């Protein structure tokens, strides 16, 4: 198959844009918004000559600057840049009161709202992830940015990526119900259910299972992995089960440097050992240990002295006894007033929510001698994983589950319910019993197997007893010696059924029609299940609207597809599909389309001059396209038609989101007079993805704003000239006059000795390379720049420009040095937001002095007055200009956090722009000159020690009390690992 035209032009445009963007300084964008623009530092008493005062008008704002006239354009660019982002005039002029809100709104418009988890990718949160919430895996989740708190309510997220969940340091997970975070990864990288590069707190009334995948040689698997000496705190009644997967090297339940458990329960198990550290169980705190990766029945009590997790313990449970845990000798009961609680039983976890009357089961097995295994007044059973509830029978009636009111069973998991033999004459056996003329409802993908036992003379045996039964998108297999079900049942449409007069399945399944009663008093065996979605065909549409209530998968034309009903996710892998029907693929609203490899979906039903609409893909509302491949979606005809002919068509004012890693090529009809669009949608949101669209009427049906960090090309003809390239921004739009349009993230370029290295637009694209004798790698999804023995010296006044909330990971000794500018603020490193420096290496950021006052030189400059964090053993040296001009700082930031790292900072005005309180136990020395001071002190966590008079400061931690540079060149990995 020939390469699509858009692919050929796309590659050519990328090559040209690399050269073009090399001259885009980006440096002007990072000029200090507090100097020169309405500079408050210029007093009325100062003598200012007319030749040094320039008048600049941008966006209706008149500015007075103390610079030579040649600086006007740079000031204009800076102000216009901020106005374009949506800043108010006050904020653009330096008022910080609404900067944070404006930055949030800027990110929302540029990146789109944060998304939930994905089956094929790590669910990633950064310090700057905006407030968000959503539904996923049968539950709900929410993220609160200000407290870095992720709330999980019955979430099930299992991914094929090596990490299921990635959280920033200092995060909190608040548990409600039972949630699962797991990886099915099999590969050569480390894997874990939860990964945090720092501290983590888990609290709440719910329970959590976290499992790692399978790690290959020299790789590790963890249930919970806390890097950078992270500490784990479990409190507030939470129950946590952490299990390491198979690994050729290390398999641990949890990897931490410190563990605190307060009024909570932890179960940890791994093939190597349960935990990475020995743990002292508090006085009178119960615990269990086992040398195997299985539960132990031995109950021990902590003395506050003995360390009980050592090399031989592969299974450990620490925590108080749960009063509501099931028992082998009595019924497991939840009344209408049972308080919210959770627990761990054998290898499973459970949680009860009083507010919603929901019992969540995850991997639970409960077998009891009692007549009733589980008693509920009414409510919901939420299933995760495989669960089993069994009553082996008693002296009379036997029931697996007894509900006194309506009962709903839902979730992704399975439930095997068994009742034993009735012990007396006229007694009954029911696997599930819903009394008081109430309803049993099974939905949401759940699979329920209800098997009743034998009865003696006069007794009755039912698989499921209820006055009314509702099944929607779920599977029920019921067996009873009297009847499978206590009442007749009408099988709904989109479901199949199988019945038998015996307790065995002996017939073929049939489709239900929602009208005919097909399970009656003769049926002792009944199986009802949703009809799985069928694959594509040459003659008809591939329709998920009527068959999207259960999972399905298949292969077609050398490719594969899979449908996940709970998340409405369709995954296509190298699938080539074209149909003669009026539409290729029909999807419900809020579907996620995951693209892997090269995929082709098209319709070829156009008739010349006829009113025959044709679409490649139709969605009934919002559609998200993500993955790591290409989607070619088209109308395979150039026939002139008067009707609609659109590549991707979204009904009900749906919006199309194209996320990082995917390229969408959407072709409507390129001839004719109808509504011919490449993409018909109420809005198009680009969050790292690329697109090419063409249509005879227009490429897009609505105006599209191309975000910053993108290049785009648009034309009023169906053939797009390659030379028309623009850079995105809030004013960059593609409108109805453009019949051909494409957009893609700006490619990553390496440093240069002639100009500043600008990574600020590269928030969507990964990149790596060699420079001098060192290496660098940029990971866009985490905004992480890895430097390995990297030295960058430039003539430009700014050596490195980074987007906000970036992490610099150091290996070996690294240095970044800026030159001089006739204007602007020379700086070694400028970051448009917060910055974290971590890793076992060192970094030196150096700035020279500007040639004209009142400019200055700053070693590390956080542009939006944000926080600089140094952690993970990083050794940072920040050297500003030794001139006493204003803004000659080593570090300019609103706050400084040092956690297991070291900092030496010096500048002619101040060492650090903000006062700093050295934490208790940390060592420091500070001097009034830029020379090292020998007077050393110990921080008390209260005294402000770095202020206006200090031009030199050295702060070291207890892990490096001497403040010496770590000899990294013999101990670090010398290779770039962009995928990490």
pLDDT tens digits, one per residue of 347-375 = 688 888 888 899 989 889 999 999 999 99
Return the structure tokens found at 646: 């659109």
- pLDDT of 721 reads 65
Radius of gyration over alpha carbons of the chain, in Å?
32
**pLDDT digit string, tens, across residues 805-828:** 899 999 999 999 988 765 567 889
Residue 802 has pLDDT above 70, yes or no: yes
At 118 the pLDDT is 77
Chain length of the chain? 980
Q: How many CA atoms lie within 13 A of 685 on its CB side?
A: 21
- Whether the pLDDT of residue 548 is over 50: the answer is yes
Closest CA to 349 of 181, 576, 131, 520: 181
Q: Could you give the CA distance from residue 738 to residue 724 in angstroms, rounded to a whole number?
A: 12
What is residue 976's predicted lDDT score, i.e. its pLDDT? 43
Asked if residue 854 has a cis previous peptide bond (ω within 30° of 0), the answer is: yes
In sequence order, the 6+-apart residues with CB closer than 8 A to the CB of 624 are 115, 591, 592, 593, 656, 657, 659
> What mean pLDDT is predicted for residues 184-212?
91
Quote the percentage of the chain above a pLDDT of 70: 80
Is residue 69 scored above 60 in pLDDT?
no
Asked whether 484 and 491 are in contact (CB, 8 A), the reply is: no
What's the pLDDT at 437? 86
**pLDDT beyond 70 at 240:** yes
Report which of 565, 722, 541 is spatially closest to residue 9, judged by C-alpha positions: 722
Which band of pLDDT confidence, cut at 50, 70 and 90, is reported for residue 851?
A: low
548: Cα separation from own chain's centroid: 25
Predicted confidence at residue 321, as pLDDT, reads: 57
Cα–Cα distance for residue pair 24/750, rounded to 1 Å: 14
The two structure tokens encoding residue 567 = 């998340």
- Say how many Å lie between the first and final Cα of the chain, rounded: 35
- Please report the pLDDT score of residue 632 as a whole number: 95
Tell me: pLDDT of 778 over 50: yes
Model confidence band, residue 278 (pLDDT cutoffs 50, 70, 90): confident
* pLDDT tens readout for residues 606-659: 654 456 678 999 999 999 999 989 999 988 765 556 578 899 999 999 999 999
SS3 of residue 430 by DSSP: strand
Counting residues of the chain whose pLDDT is more than 90, the rounded percentage is 37
Average pLDDT over residues 944-955: 87
Burial class (CB in 10 A: 0-12, 13-18, 19+), 538: exposed
Residue 498 reports pLDDT greater than 70: yes
CA–CA dist 445, 423 (Å, integer): 35
Which residue is associated with the tokens 């509702």?
470
Contact in structure between 413 and 384 (CB atoms under 8 Å): yes
More confident: 917 or 970: 917
Q: What is the mean pLDDT of residues 273-299?
A: 79
When pLDDT is averaged across residues 583-611 and rounded to a whole number, the result is: 84
What per-residue confidence (pLDDT) applies to 904? 94
The predicted pLDDT at position 58 comes to: 36
DSSP state of 167: E
Report if pTM > 0.85.
Answer: no
The tokens for 7 are 């692919």
Query: Lowest-pLDDT range, 246-260, 636-650, 885-899?
Result: 636-650
Contact 78, 87 (CB under 8 A): no
Average pLDDT over residues 485-502: 90
Cα separation, 547 vs 571, whole angstroms: 16
- Which SS3 state, helix, strand or coil, does residue 969 take? helix
Of the candidates 437, 446, 445, 429, the one whose C-alpha atom is nearest the C-alpha of residue 503 is: 429
Task: Examine the pLDDT at 402 and tell me if it is beyond 60.
Answer: yes
Question: Mean of the per-residue pLDDT values for the chain?
Answer: 80
Whole-Å CA distances, 31 to 27, 863, 943, 948: 7, 8, 33, 23
- The CA-based angle 161-316-347, given to 5 degrees, is 65
């Amino acid at each position: 198959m020939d390469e699509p035209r858009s692919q050929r032009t796309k590659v050519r445009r990328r090559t040209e844009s690399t050269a073009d963007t090399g001259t885009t300084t980006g440096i002007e964008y990072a000029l200090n918004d507090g100097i020169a623009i309405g500079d408050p530092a210029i007093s009325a008493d100062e003598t200012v000559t007319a030749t040094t005062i320039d008048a600049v008008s941008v966006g209706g704002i008149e500015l007075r600057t103390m610079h030579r006239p040649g600086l006007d354009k740079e000031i204009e660019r800076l102000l216009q840049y901020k106005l374009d982002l949506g800043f108010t005039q006050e904020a653009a002029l330096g008022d910080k009161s609404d900067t944070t809100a404006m930055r949030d709104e800027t990110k929302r418009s540029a990146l789109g709202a944060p998304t939930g988890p994905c089956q094929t990718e790590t669910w990633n949160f950064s310090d700057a992830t905006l407030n968000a919430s959503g539904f996923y895996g049968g539950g709900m989740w929410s993220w609160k940015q200000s407290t870095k708190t992720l709330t999980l309510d019955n979430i099930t997220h299992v991914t094929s990526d090596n990490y299921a969940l990635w959280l920033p340091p200092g995060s909190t997970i608040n548990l409600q119900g039972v949630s699962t975070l797991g990886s099915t990864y099999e590969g050569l990288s480390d894997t874990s259910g939860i990964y945090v590069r720092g501290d983590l707190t888990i609290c709440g009334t719910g329970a959590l299972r976290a499992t790692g995948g399978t790690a290959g040689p020299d790789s590790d698997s963890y249930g919970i992995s806390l890097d950078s000496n992270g500490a784990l705190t479990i409190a507030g009644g939470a129950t946590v089960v952490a299990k390491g997967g198979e690994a050729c090297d290390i398999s641990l339940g949890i990897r931490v440097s410190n563990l605190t458990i307060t009024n909570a329960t932890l179960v940890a198990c791994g093939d190597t050992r349960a935990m990475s550290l020995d743990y002292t169980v508090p006085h009178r705190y119960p615990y269990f240990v086992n040398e195997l990766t299985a539960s132990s029945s031995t109950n021990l009590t902590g003395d506050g002295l003995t360390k009980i997790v050592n090399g031989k313990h592969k299974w450990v449970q620490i925590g108080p006894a749960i009063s509501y845990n099931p028992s082998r000798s009595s019924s497991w009961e939840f009344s209408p007033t049972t308080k919210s609680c959770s627990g761990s039983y054998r290898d499973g976890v459970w949680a009860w929510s009083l507010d919603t009357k929901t019992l969540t089961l995850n991997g639970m097995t409960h077998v009891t001698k009692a007549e009733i295994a589980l008693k509920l007044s009414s409510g919901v059973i939420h299933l995760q994983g495989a669960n089993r509830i069994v009553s082996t029978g008693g002296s009379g009636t036997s029931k697996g589950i007894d509900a006194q009111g309506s009962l709903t069973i839902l979730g992704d998991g399975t439930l095997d319910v068994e009742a034993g033999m009735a012990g007396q004459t006229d007694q009954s056996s029911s696997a599930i019993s819903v009394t008081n003329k109430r309803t049993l409802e099974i939905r949401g993908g759940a699979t329920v197997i209800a098997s009743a036992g034998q009865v003696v003379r006069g007794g009755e045996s039912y698989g499921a007893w209820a006055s009314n039964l509702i099944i929607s998108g779920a599977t029920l297999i019921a067996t009873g010696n009297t009847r499978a079900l206590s009442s007749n049942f009408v099988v709904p449409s989109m479901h199949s059924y199988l019945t038998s007069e015996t307790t065995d399945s002996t017939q073929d399944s049939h489709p239900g029609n929602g009208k005919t009663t097909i399970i009656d008093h003769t049926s002792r065996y009944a199986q009802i299940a949703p009809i799985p979605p069928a694959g594509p065909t040459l003659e008809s549409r591939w329709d998920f609207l009527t068959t999207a209530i259960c999972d399905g998968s298949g292969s077609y034309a050398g490719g594969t597809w899979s449908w996940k009903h709970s998340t409405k996710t369709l995954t296509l892998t190298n699938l080539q599909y074209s149909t003669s029907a009026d539409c290729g693929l029909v999807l419900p609203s809020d579907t996620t389309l995951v693209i892997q490899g090269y995929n082709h979906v098209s319709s070829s039903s156009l008739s010349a001059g006829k009113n025959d609409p044709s679409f490649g893909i139709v969605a009934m509302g919002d559609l998200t396209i993500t993955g790591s491949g290409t989607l070619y979606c088209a109308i395979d005809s150039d026939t002139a038609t008067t009707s609609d002919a659109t590549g991707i068509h979204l009904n009900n004012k749906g919006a199309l989101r194209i996320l990082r890693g995917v390229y969408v090529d959407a072709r409507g009809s390129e001839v004719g007079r109808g509504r011919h669009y490449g993409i018909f949608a109420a809005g198009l949101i680009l969050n790292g993805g690329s697109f090419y669209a063409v249509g005879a009427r227009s490429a897009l049906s609505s105006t599209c704003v191309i975000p910053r960090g993108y290049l785009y090309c648009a034309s009023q003809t169906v053939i797009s000239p390659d030379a028309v390239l623009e850079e995105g921004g809030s004013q960059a739009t593609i409108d109805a006059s453009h019949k051909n349009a494409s957009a893609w993230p700006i490619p990553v370029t390496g440093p240069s000795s002639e100009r500043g290295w600008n990574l600020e637009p590269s928030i969507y694209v990964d990149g790596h390379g060699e420079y001098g004798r060192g290496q660098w790698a940029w990971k866009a999804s985490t905004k992480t720049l890895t430097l390995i023995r990297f030295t960058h010296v430039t003539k430009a006044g700014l050596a490195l420009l980074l987007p906000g909330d970036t992490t610099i990971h150091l290996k070996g000794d690294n240095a970044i040095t800026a030159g001089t500018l006739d204007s602007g603020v020379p700086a070694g490193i400028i970051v448009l937001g917060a910055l974290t420096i971590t890793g076992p290496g060192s970094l030196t950021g150096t700035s020279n002095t500007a040639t004209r006052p009142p400019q200055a030189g700053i070693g590390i400059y956080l542009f939006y007055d944000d926080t600089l964090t140094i952690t993970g053993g990083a050794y940072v040296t920040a050297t500003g200009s030794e001139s006493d001009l204003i803004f000659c700082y080593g570090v300019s930031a609103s706050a400084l956090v040092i956690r297991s790292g070291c900092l030496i900072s010096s500048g002619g005005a101040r060492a650090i722009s903000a006062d700093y309180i050295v934490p208790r136990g940390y060592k420091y020395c500070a001097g009034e000159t830029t020379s090292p001071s020998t007077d050393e002190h110990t921080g008390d966590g209260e005294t402000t020690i770095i202020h206006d008079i200090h031009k030199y400061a050295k702060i070291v931690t207890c892990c490096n009390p001497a403040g010496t540079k770590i000899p990294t060149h013999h101990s670090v990995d010398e290779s770039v690992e962009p995928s990490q």
